[in-house]
Amino acid sequence: MVRIAFFGTPAFAVPTLQALLASQHPVVAAVTQPDRPRGRGRRVSESPVKQLAAANGLPVLQPERMKDPTFMQALAALAPDLGVVAAYGRLLPDALLALPRLGMINVHASLLPKYRGASPIHRAVMAGDTETGVTIIRLVREMDAGPMLRRAALPIADDDTSATLDHKLAELGAGELLHAVDDLDLGRAVEEAQDHAGATFAPRLTREDGVMDWSRPAPDLHNQVRGLHPWPRASCRLNGARYLIHRTAPAGPPDAAAGAAAASPGQVIAAAGGRLVVAAGGHTALSILEIQPEGGRPLPVRAFLAGHPIAPGALFDRP
């Protein structure tokens, strides 16, 4: 058996903690970020990991600073053999990485060395990738650069969003992590160095990532919408008002063939009968299926057009 200190914060980390709690390996504590304002109401709430830990009677540590001596002493007193990290949300200092006798391992939501960084799931969907996966790595000082213990691939479906893919990868990662812990416990773990020359990076998302550039082809814009669900959302402006785009589909003929060829990128081709079709780059067109006026609620396009009439020829622009 391996005594485990678990580090995680969002819903992505919950399946991994659940798998560990159901295993033979005792979890001695859950380390999660401090309670913060969350959601549209910005009410202070506990992280999903804290809620699960409390329900299972685990000690919960929530340091404001990772080098806080009180936190380090409290964790050392629990004598963990191994640290397990799943979307904790902070870089861990060298002293913390060295505290467990078996070091610390991490569930990363990409097939490393591709998409090192804070938003690997979103970046894979935005890029239109057809495959992603999880990698279990040993944590080292350089971000997501440690040797790999396990790697498992997962197809990205055409209708996947970052939210649906996050759930799938969380479940896949939990199983792979448990295998890695068992391997370390039995002394049969094999660690493979990453090909650092092939590394790509997935920087943290900002609202600027959501700005739609209608000169890009419709499939690229569709991937942007999928990849930025549920945050920060793809966005654009029409007649000075800002809109968040929730669901789209590349438009087929005749819109893509005839209408898009005759329209400028961002120009509305059709806006009636439950259809809102906008010209995009490369003589393509994008169908908007669900849209949200800023400050309002998301609406299917038929309901949106009933209250917000749009004339063909109107021009969507960058926010």
Query: Which pLDDT tens digit goes with each residue over 123-174?
Result: 999 999 999 999 999 999 999 999 999 999 999 999 999 999 999 999 999 9
Q: Which residues contact 206 (CB under 8 A, 6 or more apart)?
A: 232
Phi-psi region of 50 (alpha: psi -120 to 50; beta: other; left: phi over 0): alpha
For the record, the structure tokens of 256 come out as 């893509």
Cα angle 135, 122, 89 (rounded to 5 degrees) comes to 65
CATH 3.10.25.10 fits 207-317, yes or no: yes
Strand order in the sheet with 60-61: 60-61, 27-31, 4-8, 82-86, 104-108, 131-138, 148-155
pLDDT at 281 over 80: yes
Query: Which pLDDT tens digit goes with each residue over 76-117?
Result: 999 999 999 999 999 999 999 999 999 999 999 999 999 999
Query: Which pLDDT tens digit goes with each residue over 170-201?
Result: 999 999 999 999 999 999 999 999 999 999 99
Residues of the chain with CATH 3.10.25.10: 207-317
The backbone torsions φ and ψ at residue 269, rounded to the nearest 5 degrees and listed phi first, read -95, -40
Phi-psi region of 233 (alpha: psi -120 to 50; beta: other; left: phi over 0): left
CATH 3.40.50.170 fits 4-202, yes or no: yes
Residues of the chain with CATH 3.40.50.170: 4-202
* pLDDT score recorded for residue 43: 81
Query: Which pLDDT tens digit goes with each residue over 54-74?
Result: 999 999 999 999 999 999 999
Q: Among positive and negative, which fits the CA dihedral 97, 165, 15, 32? A: positive
Residue 182's alpha-carbon distances to 41, 48, 190, 244, in angstroms, are 42, 25, 12, 45
